[in-house]
Amino acid sequence: MAKNNKILVPEARKELDKLKADVMREQGYQVNAKNPDDVKFEIADELGIPLTKGYNGKITAEEAGKIGGPIGGNMVKEMIRMAQEQMMKKE
């Protein structure tokens, strides 16, 4: 799966990768701190989806969503939690 996502602030890539690693570790996954994207292979394996390094054009969009959904969804939940916590501190 190629990285087609472009973040608005490229300098934030390192922190986003750290967030991904932290969030997925909390979900019980083994995460390589140097390459947190590798967690997608563990998720794919759990789901029985044949994901490999390199070209994965044979997996369906639904299968890709089942792999990426838990990663992105958990990251968004954590960012919302963090924002709410900051808002509470400002009150």
Per-residue pLDDT reduced to its tens digit, 23-79: 999 999 989 888 888 999 999 999 999 999 989 999 999 999 999 999 999 999 999
What pTM does this model have?
Answer: 0.77
| pLDDT bucket at 1, cuts 50 / 70 / 90 | very low
Separation between Cα atoms, residue 59 and residue 44, nearest integer Å: 11
Is residue 19 within 8 Å of 78, Cβ to Cβ?
yes
Amino acid letter for position 81: R
Rg of the Cα trace of the chain? 15
Residue environment code for 56-81, b if the CB has 16+ CB neighbours within 10 A, otherwise e: beebeeebbebbeebbeebbeeeeee
Cβ contacts of 59 within 8 Å, gap of 6 or more: 49, 50, 51
